[in-house]
Structure 1
Amino acid sequence: GVPLGLATSSPEKHIEAVLRALDLNRTFRVTYSADREPYGKPHPGVYLSTAKALGVEPECCLAIEDSVNGVVAAKAARMKCVAIPEERLRSDPRFAIADLKLSCLSELSEIHWANLNH
């Protein structure tokens, strides 16, 4: 399958606990906190480090983001990015830099995936 990495602004100490509580602790090959970087999002460092740890070129990665800073970070890392902002932020024009904007993750289809990879 596709290797999954988690590049998050959340503190390192919270990542494992949240993933365990949601029964997702075996879902991600790599989890990486921006706490390990000199700068957090919107700096691309956390995304670049996650891609490197996965052994994947950033240009081959798809980031899924819910924040403007996250979208900026993903695009600065040269990744494709799907934005899924919370409802009250969906009209924020800053999300326009994302390659695709959806209302929820379940809307992401194989057609979107294929189109993003061209």
Structure 2
Amino acid sequence: MSPQPLARADRRRLQRLTHENELTIAADARFFERRPDRNHRVRQASRAEVEIHHLTGRPRMTTLRWYVAVRQLAPGVRFRVFACGLPDLDCDQPEDVCREVYERQQTDRGLQIERDFARAMTKGAA
């Protein structure tokens, strides 16, 4: 089942939220630059990410909070998955915990996108 197209006003809002979320994406980049031994992190979802989720049909939550698990495939290439959890979870976790959170939330479609991207990167390097 394919998602319904967004109304024009929602598309404009999505564009604004995507632009607003660039600071969060830059923070992910800095995290991995400062920690070259890491390929995964978990953090609270930004307000913009949560609003984007709502626009695309995800439910609003009152007692839980959205979190984001990030995987860095290569420097500058990162994938995100979303998970919900208690509002006071400690996000300062070691690599193995962050990797497990990411892998538990990853979908078959997401895994295929990662594989296709990794294959394309390998072909581009050859």
Normalising by structure 2, what TM-score? 0.26
Higher relative contact order (CA 8 A, sep 6+): 2
Question: As a proportion of its length, which structure holds more helix?
Answer: 2
Larger Rg: 2
